[in-house]
Amino acid sequence: MEDIAVKTYCNCLAKQRGLDPVGHAHGFDDAIIIELPLPWKEDIMQRADPLPQEIIDLLALWLQRYHAGEGYRHRPLVVAPDKDYSKQGHHRVLFYTRPKGMMSAFDKVEYLMPAGELGPLVWSLYQAPDQLSHFDAYRVPEADSVRDILVCTHGTIDAACAKFGYPLYRHMRENFGSDQLRVWRVSHFGGHVFAPTLMDMPIGHYWAYVGEAQAEQIICRSGDVAALRGYYRGWAGLDGGFLQAAECELWQRHGWPWFSYLKSGKLRLQDTESDHPTLANVEICYATSHTSTQETYELQVEIHDQIETEHSTANTQLYAYPQYRVREVVARQSSA
């Protein structure tokens, strides 16, 4: 087998071909993030050990529902233990859920679980919420407000994530880690062509091609937002490329305060007869606080190009990534 070191990494090819990451995030309704020791095999989410059987059964149930046409609105991930965050014989569990109505971030609850209780807790979070009071002793409410940076380093899924993601993780962990901002090594969450890639939780932002300069801006939410335009994949609070491209455009106009605004979005495709629509009208409502008047933007977003590039480092098969562009923006006031 050819040494992976002599191959060209998929993220390097993507950058060379000018692949814009915006619109290539994944929306979800909930995320379950479980602390689990390395190494992580490629099929970690498919077989019991090291994950408990209850979690494997839950993942299989979600997949069964997906194949039945019910969609897949979950984001299951694992993170590696950390000497400052972890407790011997326990697993930290971060559970994020989408709040009702307009939102700026996901709601979060956190647990620190003995190994034998991990499976029952995760099953109860989804399938038996009436049983959750049994786990109250393991709640860590003071951590519900902690910010978590999740850097993909999952090399068994794609070598680019280990090659480029691990140095970014080390840089961010050493320079920005604190009691209120934890930096984790996380399993694959899609988009190795965008390595180094990270998720910023609980806000739900996905970032691409992150280097040290971008890392500092992302952490501090400071500096010229235009400098980060080509590094933003999108926001998990909105589904699909059209809405995510529109949200990115409004961030560029409003600057960093935009990320704290409450937001919601609606999509109306213009070519509904096509299997691959290329034009959409997007409506994004926002408010600066729960008591402020809502404002609305109407945007027209198009797919203006597709860039073909290798989907992974180990596979030369090309994948066409749509490229989104905002053609028109109109602002109007909404009701309170």
pLDDT in tens, 248-280: 999 999 999 999 999 999 998 877 667 788 999
> Which residues, 6+ apart, have CB-to-CB distance to 213 below 8 Å?
none
CA 171 to chain centroid, in Å, comes to 20
Specify whether the backbone of 191 is left (phi greater than 0), alpha (psi in -120 to 50) or beta.
left
Which domains occur in the chain, in start order?
4-238 (3.40.30.10)
- How confident is the model over 194-207, as a mean pLDDT? 98
No. of H helices and E strands in the chain? 6, 13
Of 113, 95, 111, 89, the closest CA to residue 37 belongs to: 89
List residues bridging with 281 in a β-sheet.
Answer: 268, 300
Mean pLDDT over the full length of the chain = 93
- In the chain, helix, strand, coil percent, each to 5? 30, 30, 35
| Whole-number pLDDT of residue 2 | 42
pLDDT tens-digit map of 304-332: 999 999 999 998 899 999 999 999 999 88
Of 197, 267, 193, the closest CA to residue 234 belongs to: 197
Residue 304, CA atoms < 13 Å, CB-side half-sphere: 10
- How confident is the model over 215-241, as a mean pLDDT? 97
**pTM of structure:** 0.94
Q: How many CB atoms lie within 10 A of CB 283?
A: 18
- Alpha-helical (H) ranges within the chain are 10-16, 53-67, 118-127, 159-176, 212-220, 241-254
Question: Residue 1 — very low, low, confident or very high, per pLDDT cuts 50/70/90?
Answer: very low
CA separation (Å) from 232 to 253, 316, 320? 14, 25, 19
The two tokens of residue 259 are 């990320």
pLDDT tens-digit map of 51-101: 999 999 999 999 999 999 999 999 999 999 999 999 999 999 999 999 999
SS3 286: strand
